[in-house]
Amino acid sequence: MMYGIAILPSAEINEFANSYRKRFDPYYRVISPHITVREKEEWTEEQLQAAISHLEDLSRTVSPFQITFNRFSSYFPVNNVIYLALEQVEPVIDLHDKLCTGPLVDTEKAYNYHPHLTIGQKLGADELHDVLASVKNTPVDFSFHVDSFQLLGKQENGEWSVIRSFPLQG
């Protein structure tokens, strides 16, 4: 089964992100707005159990933190993705780095980790530029308290759901 680890934002941020995602993200119906902390990958049952144990231990040592989305941005020209950008990425990068150790060590990264919330992807170049032009001056100021992260699993119907939530207790 495919698994991934993410932070799920507040309902207010979900509503804002989904107002764009329903038009610009083909995965709108299969996964809710999220900040990926660890990319999806196939795990065996043994790998899943080792990961859960690791995530339980990690969640006991990491303190809750605040994050703020403050603008729209894009990965163009590397990738035609539009996303909500974080004002300060360090707390999420720190969580990612701590998480990607032990049984979840990640040695084959194709790119540096950059936390964000995707609102549009798989866009053509013209559409990407049109959407960016229309949102670049849209004020964005959403903060929320991150007090947990979630282990997600991809179901047989292709939808992603929360398998387990790990509260931050540090």
* Residue 34 is a catalytic residue: yes
Provide the H-helix boundaries in the chain. 11-24, 45-61, 90-99, 125-135
Burial label, 127 (beta-carbon count in 10 A; 0-12, 13-18, 19+): middle
Cα angle: 79, vertex 80, 82; to 5 degrees: 110
Q: How far apart are CA 161 and CA 107, in angstroms?
A: 26
Written as one letter, the residue type at 141 is D
* Residue 116 is a catalytic residue: yes
**Residue 34 · residue 8 · CB < 8 Å:** yes
Q: Which of the following is catalytic: 54, 96, 114, 116? A: 116
**Residue 102 · residue 122 · CB < 8 Å:** no
Written as one letter, the residue type at 117 is L
**Residue 57 · residue 170 · CB < 8 Å:** no
Q: Name the residues annotated as catalytic.
A: 34, 116
